[in-house]
């Protein structure tokens, strides 16, 4: 598979690089690493994303080259779609994909729909950045900037090396990347230290209003005014909830408009929250999923909690 | 240095293993790894600690063998003091140290006082467990239980691989240890998921009451009722404060008795909080320190904040 991809890279001239909506470390790190790799091979490469780059990732190299708009007539030989389970998840970039002669789909999501002409999907990889590392290794192209992008991708998608996808291989790769003068505490600060004092106070109120079911296994909070920001506090809140003993399912109910409630689910290990979100019209992963329900927040809370109780006890 | 230690291990029969007060992952992981190593060499080994083992570490192998009391007449050929900058920090174990023929001091704290007969001190090591790994490697003794103990030691002392002490070497060692079927998410859950719902609500109130100076660089909270528990919430609170942008110094003021205030300091990078704590009769590390002041909490807050302001601006 990698051989075919390398062949296509060598044979073609212009490349469109994109990833999924709601950009995070793995999507951006993988895009930038591939971009730098193509540049080293003297190819024409463009990163084009539906969403703007979150400010937490402004430290990544070449980030100012990322485009959020393209001329309607632009065309590419190859479209490289990274960390993206479905072509619809590229947002407005989708219109450009079909015009490329070849779509290469590189991803580690088990839910990948194999939408590409070439589909390199490795659900056992910690991250798409781990796969891109293999590609760089094969092509013998690696420098400080590529290493920083790949480190950031693997670091964020493995929950700072604490998720189940963190293997011996991941640590081996990271030890290789760190030889290029990567400072882990600095990457940590960049990626995670973006809160204002008012954000922590807001999180404080959420924690203080946490609810739990009788078994102690379902923990949730209801937020009647979810702030619209350029960054999202959801992951931070879930990372704090991880400190709780015995809880299995974590849920946030957010009022995002009148009669519109966003519900985010996280599972510690056993419960498949993808199936719970699906029941309410959403989806995601086994351990992280979400849905948006067109109803008033207290109604949604009642229905969802009742369903989750039955689901986890059944 | 390691050669001499290996020689002493081979020449002697009975070993006392201990570490510092307020046991954490590196102290316990290093003790248990050395204990298992000595057992493999058919030596008589005893782990004896001043403090009880925190329940978060009950998952470590052989943890039920750790003693908190010894007969007054017990003697040992060699005392191995691990992760301990000063022999006084072994608490009541100190009385037994002097009776050993040889004291071996293995530590990575820059503040180590070289109290042993043999002093193997490596301030550049991420953890004492990293040093013990080198010893195991040299002796070619490693198994699943030793790997789990060492993984836990390195993992906790490097802040889940996010502190500045996390080097390429650390990740290389971890990739070696993980080959012994270590599950990182399970270790994470054991070490970090010990909170009750009431703890998170308490932390929520602390976050909601955070104070900050005009520059935004000094952030603190004042807790008038600090709960006495078998576990400590301090690290969790500081890990949450790390999400704040621009803050440099984090301080917690805890009323621990009438006219007795505990002050904990953390620094993001530049400020040396060891010197601040020293000014108030305490001490610690450059980035983590503490002191106990015999005064009413609001007086202590006033004096400390005023000093920190002058210190950080000077």
Q: At what angle do helices B168-177 and A168-178 cross, to 10 degrees?
A: 160
Q: CATH top-level class for B2-192?
A: alpha beta
DSSP 8-state secondary structure symbol assigned to residue B195: B
Among the residue ranges A29-33, B11-15, B272-276, B292-296, the one predicted with the least confidence is B272-276
Tens digit of pLDDT at every position of chain A (314 positions): 899 999 999 999 999 999 999 899 999 999 999 999 999 999 999 999 999 999 999 999 999 999 999 998 899 999 999 999 999 999 999 999 999 999 999 999 888 999 999 999 999 999 999 999 999 999 999 999 999 999 999 999 999 999 889 999 999 999 999 999 999 999 999 999 999 999 999 999 999 999 999 999 999 999 998 888 778 899 899 999 999 998 999 999 999 999 999 999 999 888 999 899 999 998 877 888 899 999 999 999 999 999 999 998 86
Contact indicator for B206, B223 with CB cutoff of 8 Å = yes
Contact indicator for B103, B79 with CB cutoff of 8 Å = yes
Q: Which of B145, B74, B85, B83 is nearest to B112 (CA)?
A: B85
Question: Which residues of chain A are within 8 Å of residue B196 when distances are taken between CB atoms?
Answer: 244-245
The CATH 3.10.310.30 domain(s) of chain B lie at: 199-313
Question: Which residues of chain B are within 8 Å of residue A205 when distances are taken between CB atoms?
Answer: 204, 208
Place of tokens 């502190």: B163
pLDDT in tens, B84-111: 999 999 999 999 999 999 999 999 988 8
Give the start-end residues of each E strand in chain B. Answer: 14-18, 44-47, 78-82, 102-107, 118-121, 211-212, 218-223, 249-257, 260-267, 283-284, 288-293
Q: Is A206 helix (H, G, I), strand (E, B) or coil?
A: helix
Q: Which of A252, A233, A248, A240 is nearest to A290 (CA)?
A: A252
| Long-range contact pairs involving B202-206 (C-beta distance under 8 Å, separation at least 24) | B202/B227, B202/B233, B203/A204, B203/A207, B203/A240, B203/B233, B203/B236, B203/B237, B203/B240, B204/A203, B204/A204, B204/A205, B204/A206, B204/A207, B204/A208, B204/A209, B204/A210, B205/A204, B205/A208, B206/A204, B206/B237, B206/B252
The CATH 3.10.310.30 domain(s) of chain A lie at: 198-313
Q: Which residue in chain A has the smallest CA separation from B156?
A: A162
**CATH number for domain A198-313, candidates 3.10.129.10, 3.40.50.1820, 3.20.20.70, 3.10.310.30:** 3.10.310.30
Q: Which residue in chain A has the smallest CA separation from B212?
A: A197
Q: Which two tokens stand for residue B28?
A: 């316990």
Contact indicator for A301, A280 with CB cutoff of 8 Å = no
pLDDT for the residue numbered B286: 84
Q: Which of B194, B230, B200 is nearest to A245 (CA)?
A: B194
pLDDT for the residue numbered A251: 98
pLDDT for the residue numbered A111: 82
Q: How many CB atoms lie within 10 A of CB B138?
A: 12
Q: Which residue in chain B has the smallest CA separation from A206?
A: B204
* Interface size, chain A vs chain B, as Cβ–Cβ contacts under 8 Å: 149
CATH code for the structural domain at B199-313: 3.10.310.30
Q: Which two tokens stand for residue A56?
A: 């937490």
* Nearest by CB: A245 against B166, B193, B242: B193
pLDDT in tens, B241-251: 999 998 999 99
ipTM, two decimals: 0.89
Rounded to the nearest angstrom, the minimum Cα separation between A247 and chain B is 9
- Beta-carbon contacts of A238 under 8 Å, excluding residues fewer than 6 positions away, are A250, A252, A264, A266
pLDDT in tens, B202-242: 999 999 999 999 999 999 999 999 988 778 899 899 999 99
Rounded to the nearest angstrom, the minimum Cα separation between B313 and chain A is 21
CA–CA separation, A191 and A170 (whole Å)? 19
Question: Which residues of chain B are within 8 Å of residue A25 when distances are taken between CB atoms?
Answer: none
Question: Which residues of chain B are within 8 Å of residue A194 when distances are taken between CB atoms?
Answer: 243, 245
Predicted confidence (pLDDT) at residue B314 exceeds the cutoff of 70 = no
pLDDT for the residue numbered A158: 93
The CATH 3.90.1640.10 domain(s) of chain A lie at: 2-192
Taking an 8 Å cut-off on Cβ atoms, the answer to whether B208 and A204 are in contact is yes
Question: How far, in whole angstroms, is CA B285 from its chain's centroid?
Answer: 11
């Amino acid at each position: 598979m990698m051989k075919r991809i390398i062949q296509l890279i060598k044979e073609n001239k212009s490349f469109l690089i994109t990833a999924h909506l709601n950009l995070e470390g793995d999507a951006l790190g993988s895009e930038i690493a591939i971009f730098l790799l193509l540049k080293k091979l003297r190819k024409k490469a463009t990163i084009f994303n539906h969403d703007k780059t979150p400010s937490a990732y402004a430290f990544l190299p070449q980030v100012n080259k990322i485009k959020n708009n393209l001329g309607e007539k632009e065309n590419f030989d190859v479209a490289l779609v990274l960390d993206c389970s479905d072509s619809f998840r590229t947002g407005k970039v989708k219109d450009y994909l079909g015009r490329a002669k070849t779509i290469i789909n590189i991803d580690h999501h088990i839910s990948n729909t194999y939408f590409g002409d070439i589909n390199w999907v490795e659900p056992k990889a910690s991250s798409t950045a781990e796969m891109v590392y293999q590609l760089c290794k094969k092509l013998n192209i690696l420098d400080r900037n590529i290493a920083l992008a790949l480190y950031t991708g693997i670091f964020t998608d493995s929950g700072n090396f604490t998720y189940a996808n963190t293997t011996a291989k991941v640590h081996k790769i990271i030890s290789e990347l760190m030889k290029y003068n990567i400072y882990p505490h600095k990457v940590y600060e960049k990626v995670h230290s973006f809160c204002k004092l008012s954000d922590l106070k807001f999180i404080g109120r959420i924690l203080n209003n946490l609810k739990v079911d009788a078994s102690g296994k379902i923990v949730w909070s209801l937020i009647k005014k979810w702030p619209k920001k350029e960054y999202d506090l959801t992951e931070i809140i879930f990372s704090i909830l991880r400190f709780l003993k015995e809880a299995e399912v974590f849920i946030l109910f957010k009022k995002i408009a009148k009669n519109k409630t966003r519900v985010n689910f996280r599972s510690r290990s056993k419960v498949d929250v993808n199936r719970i979100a699906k029941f309410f019209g959403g989806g995601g992963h086994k351990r992280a999923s979400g849905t948006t329900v067109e109803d008033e927040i207290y109604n949604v809370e009642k229905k969802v909690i009742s369903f989750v109780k039955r689901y986890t006890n059944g």
